[in-house]
Amino acid sequence: MRHAGFRRKTRSVLSHKRPSGLSYLMINYQPEDRVIININPAQVKGMPHRRFQGYVGIVKTINKRSMELDVQVGNKTKKLITRFEHIKLQKGA
């Protein structure tokens, strides 16, 4: 029997140096900003699926603890709800 959990086969994808501090909360995001999805494996809440690791999304709405992104995957646009720990602002765009 094969186990197919949410974090299956993520040993290399979700293993990186954990960020320290709370500076990610100090960034003021605006609608239409472009952000990079960079999953923080230490924070499980609001974690997007591993297939979105490294993708670029466009901010649509900003909530108290999370935000809604539109991510282009092939010819489709996916709606993704994630927390601030798992994104960073794209520079130069």
pLDDT at 92: 79
Q: How far apart are CA 77 and CA 48, in angstroms?
A: 15
Residue 41's domain comprises 23-89
Residue 40 lies in a domain: yes
Task: Supply the pTM of this predicted model.
Answer: 0.83
pLDDT at 93: 62
Per-residue pLDDT of the chain (93 residues; tens, 9 = 90+): 778 887 888 787 777 766 667 887 788 999 999 999 998 888 888 899 989 999 999 999 999 999 999 999 999 999 999 999 999 999 876
Domain of 56, CATH number, reads: 2.30.30.70
Condensed to tens digits (0 to 9), the pLDDT of residues 46-58 reads 899 989 999 999 9
Residue 71 lies in a domain: yes
The domain tally of the chain equals: 1
Query: Rounded to whole angstroms, what are the CA distances from 81 to 37, 54, 59?
Result: 11, 15, 10
